[in-house]
Structures are given as C-alpha cells and as structure tokens.
Amino acid sequence: MVVAPDVPENAETADAAHAGALTEEDRAARRAALDALIELIRPAVQADGGDLALVGVDVETGVVDVELQGSCSSCAISSTTLQAGVNRILKDRLDWVTEVRGGVDESIGFEESAAMGTGAYVPRF
C-alpha cells in the first residue's frame, strides 16, 4: 500500500467506514419500513388482548427494541411471540435488522394483565 505523505495511514479505513454511513434519507426509509412492519404485526398481538410497542431502534447497527404490553405481561408464551414471531418477521423482512431485543411491560399486575387476554396459552400441569 502506497501512502501519500500528507495522508495518515488509517485514512483508507476511515473513508471505507464513511462510505458505508447512512444518509438521512436512508435512516428515514429504514425507520418508516420498520414502523410499517410493526403496524402490520400489531393486530395479531392485539387479537389476544396484548400490544406491541416499538421502544427504540438504531438504524445504523440494526438493533430494534420492542415491548409486549397488555395481556402479554401474564402470557406463558410471550417469549415465544418475541422470538418466533416478532424477531423472525423483522429479520426476514428487513435485511438491515441484526438484533431484536424485547421484554414485557411489567407496570401492570398479573391479575390485571390476565384479565385483558382472550386467547393466551395457559399450560396445564
């Protein structure tokens, strides 16, 4: 590698990193696509008395934070909904999503959460 006398050696790396940076339009397009997909998923979760909220997103790194709310807080399969449902759909349909982190809303009590649900799975022992 030939380096010009006035250019530091790491300039090539810096230029490559900058070339991969997203424009404001790219960021806005990624966010809009994510918002639209979340809105597409929500009715399925709402049908069982829950909801899906987008908590945060880093469109540069592809990390998405979501929260299941309502009856999902007391549902035995909410982690399955996050992993097999939300995580899979977001990663399958948005190639820039690298990680989906999620949890449940713990601000309401178990009884109140369970009373909201209409179709939650309850294991029988």
The structural domain count of the chain equals 1
Q: Is residue 125 domain-resident? A: no
In the predicted model, is pLDDT for residue 33 greater than 60?
A: yes
Q: Is residue 34 domain-resident? A: yes
Q: With bands split at pLDDT 50, 70 and 90, how would you rate the model's confidence at 91?
A: very high
3-class state of residue 40 by DSSP: helix
Q: Is residue 47 domain-resident? A: yes
pLDDT tens sequence across 36-84 = 999 999 998 888 888 899 999 999 999 999 998 888 777 778 888 888 8
pLDDT tens sequence across 7-27 = 344 444 344 344 468 899 999
Q: Is residue 4 domain-resident? A: no
Q: Is residue 36 domain-resident? A: yes
Domain limits for position 58 = 25-116
Specify the higher pLDDT residue, 48 or 88: 88
Q: Retrieve residue 109's tokens.
A: 């009590």
b/e map of 81-110 (b: 16 or more CB within 10 Å)?
Answer: bbeebbbebbbeebebbeebebebeeebee
Residues 86-91 have a mean pLDDT of 94
Q: Is residue 122 domain-resident? A: no
3-class state of residue 3 by DSSP: coil
Q: Say which CATH number the domain at 100 has.
A: 3.30.300.130
